[in-house]
Structure 1
Amino acid sequence: MGFMSVADYNFFINCGGGKVTIGDDMYEDDALNLGASQYTLSDSGKWAYSSTGDFVDSYNPYIVVNKTALNISTPELYMTARLSPLSLKYYGLCLMEGNYTVNLHFAEIMFTDDGTYSSNGRRLFDVYIQGQRVLQDFNIAKEANETGKEIIKSFTAVVDGSGTLEIHFYWAGRGTNSVPLRGVYGPLISAISVTPNFKIPTTGKKLSVGVIVAIAVCACLIIVLVLCTVFLYFRRKNISENNELKGLELQTGHFSLKHIKAATKNFDPANKIGEGGFGPVFKGVLPDGSEIAVKQLSSKSKQGNREFVNEIGVISALQHPNLVKLYGCCIEGNQLLLIYEYLENNSLARALHGPEKYRLKLDWPTRQKICLEIARGLAYLHEESRLKIVHRDIKATNVLLDKDLNAKISDFGLAKLKEEGDTHISTRIAGTL
């Protein structure tokens, strides 16, 4: 085997796009939209990438495309970009030891400068090369002085005997994350070029045995890493739901499925007292005579583990007379259950608009009292509790009434923590349309 050509010590990536030739350099395609937690090896074997994190909305732009002709000398590299909600890593593989120049090509193609809502977005992220932070709170648009304009950041990196170069883009939670849509934050990179700062031998000499062995070992490690990644991905897919929920027993009371079945008479339809987006709600009676309300996650529910975990995490940390009290949960097999205090008069929606036999005659003083109690509960969530919470799904069905017609807010599956300094007011739609 002869010496590798100079091209074997370079690699060029058109992040999120197809194959592009710029001058004498051919930028390889990087157009697979595999999403998060995927380790992907390039066709050439020179580089690979992995991405971590999931966007909240169903709109998941792991690859961003801007079909507008940009005012850039080489727009082909900036029509696309790769985006990650948390962490994005590119790896140069089997490189020769030495110093390399790393050029990172950026252009902000998701925000605008036209004074519209989209122009309010701010993207901030950090960049690490070989584990050393080279950019902190990097703002592409600010550095380029406008959106849609290219900016290239150049760095020198040292590759040791491992032959690996790591370029890490990391979102540290700063900047905006909902402008113009949720899921447009996080690190964004348009292209990467890596070239050596040393002369590459071009004679017909053969590689030494040591170099051949190093290449073979590197190739084997890549194969093993890919196989392990695939195995762990499918294994995690099967058990992630249970792993996500196991630790919750430490944060709230735990009920066995056997006890809940006994309390609700095996979820007897006669004990069903309501139905929500999460699933049906049943009345139950514990052995000591205490009455409970059991919310059961339905297989048809639009809400899932995320909302189940969210509701337990949020409400178990809150105590207020106008918030429904969570007694605990039950996680066994495929059953996800939340156990609440039982409120005799069901929901405000049923009291106002339910079947005739369930409607309550609420005079105006009582209605005013209920409104004030809802307001007190919201004021506690927004301003008074240690954790500042935005409920995001306040409606009559999520306000429950006890025997004395005291109002209590329920259903925290869509609630989220409010960052310090943020207002609770938002124009983004969440919960019930």
Structure 2
Amino acid sequence: MNLPPRKLLVFLSFFFFLECLILPTTLAGNLKFDFPSFTLRNLTLLGDSYLRNGVVGLTRELGVPSSSSGSVICNTPITFFDPETNITASFSTRFSFSINNINPNSYGDGLTFFLSPDNQTLGSPGGYLGLVNSSQLTKNKFVAVEIDTRLDSHFDDPNEHHVGLDIDSLNSIKTADPTLRGIDLKSGNLITAWIDYKNDQKNLNVSMSYSSFKPAKPILSVKIDLSSYLKEFMYVGFSASTEGSTELHLIEDWSFQTFGFRPARPRFHPHNVSDNSVTVTPVIPVSNSTNKHHNNLGLGLVIAGPAFFCIVFVVFGWVSVKKWKETKTDKSFKPELLTGPREFSYKELKSATKGFHSSRILGHGAFGTVYKAFFLGSGTISAVKRSKHTHEGKTEFLAELSIIASLRHKNLVQLQGWCAEKGELLLVYEFMPNGSLDEVLYQEPEQGMLLKWSQRYNIAMGTASVLTYLHQECEQQVIHRDIKTSNILLDGNFNPRLGDFGLARLMEHDKSPVSTLTAGTMGYLAPEYLQFGKATEKTDVFSYGVVILEVACGRRPIEKEPNSQKMVNLVDWVWGLYSEGKLIEAADKRLNGEFKEEEMRKLLLVGLSCANPDCMERPLMRRVLQILNGEAELLVVPKMKPCLTFSCSIPLSLEEIVSDSEEQTTASPLYELKIA
């Protein structure tokens, strides 16, 4: 709504006057949502879950048996308990799902619908249904309905085809066999399920049908009081898992609603009333002297009231005009921002970073400086990326914001919010306590913790998983364009989180992506990207190959030989050892041989495959993930590195190759570049 300043003042003043008379209640309200198909805007995808063509897949879609777990959670916390009225909500949900398998002999393990106080609920593969951690069985709290397709004696399953109610444990309170109602969970057909809980009746029903019509009789009916398990705020979602099977778990649509809360009523002043009654003050006769006193008081109020209101009107009007001007100033910018992440105030971020003090600097990215931020009110720590409000800075800021805000993966850095004030652009990220991979990888043992082999292999797999998601599992493909160790951050458990999407570009699947600017970091850039400036998923694969060679070898992409000024390219060095039959000698000497030789060999060969100069010979990231998981065979790597020859005019001075800086240098003349 756009109003001129004068009308805006009248509207706001009238609104303010009404606010003085009526205050809304803060009672909990009933909620309802309906997803005929899914988008990333309202969902968080965890583990191996993915979104394709509006349908959520909860476990990996592979042609070979695998172990997998994933969950999808609605971003909106839902009120299930109102402490003011002591009312617990009833709820009802309907969703359509299918369980399919290309190999009828390898079914398992099933899926769940769950309610949890945690929006990061993800469990282990196998019989844990992606809901419970195998090492911490009581860690995750939940109320869930399991749709189980494998008999697991550890959890007292009755058979390999049942539905059950679970509370904080996969040992079901009660189970039922849907085949008795003609429902085959493993048929691959679309099944519609209804789950209804009525708090006043203390009863939960589960119904299923192949059609959209709800059956008269439920498959499972449980007499239970969930009021002690339903907290004030809960998250709702789905989870699933497999263990050595190719079972697929798909959710095609979903609706959900709560009901049972009392409707909110207005509170009128000066009476302090409950939500169920309005106190009426009786008329009491008073003396004349009292009436005279009241008349004088009333006359005073008549005179003072308008004066007071005028003062309030002027003050409120001044504030409103100021806010209106600020809104007008940012009019061309803020509509471009997404509504998902929280908007922080500049004052809040400045305070949290101690005025962007140099002592709070965590590092420098391609388009900004990153600061450590302490939010005293919430007691949390975040990372704030700061860039100047220039044209280029704004472009990259919006690119990063629009991309990160729409993506959900356990190996992505979580965007918490943004700020666009004082001529500056700021992004607020989840803080990664172990910093970036390059900082940890190149620490000497006496200076810090040396990454163990198991941690390195997990980093390689986690990075492969998130790139598989970006390249092949998003609705819209994302090419990162700057995969390197300094952009891979490590959380408290040294799990990798990919960040810095300032150079990323969204593109439709199966379209030819063309970049007008060669961007990235020397040493990680694919030869065809240097030549033609076209960023594709294969250029990301090349960069990934360099990264995992770094992880395995503990060497930078380009570095000087000891006691020499000669520059050594990591890919060339590893390929040279491979051609001599000495591949394992490339392993990081600081590991002192404490690694699994088979895994080391696999990681080195995958690195060489990804860093092949011929882009057509590089594997897709999905294939890389399968190889690292032991679900696919290694690619054949030629003993001699392939040779490509082409002409180009790109800046490749020695200083630029060695430097990790993003600053431009003077272009060198046309020459022939030979990639051997």
TM range (shorter): 0.3 to 0.5
Query: What TM-score results when the alignment is normalised by the length of structure 1?
Result: 0.41
Larger Rg: 2
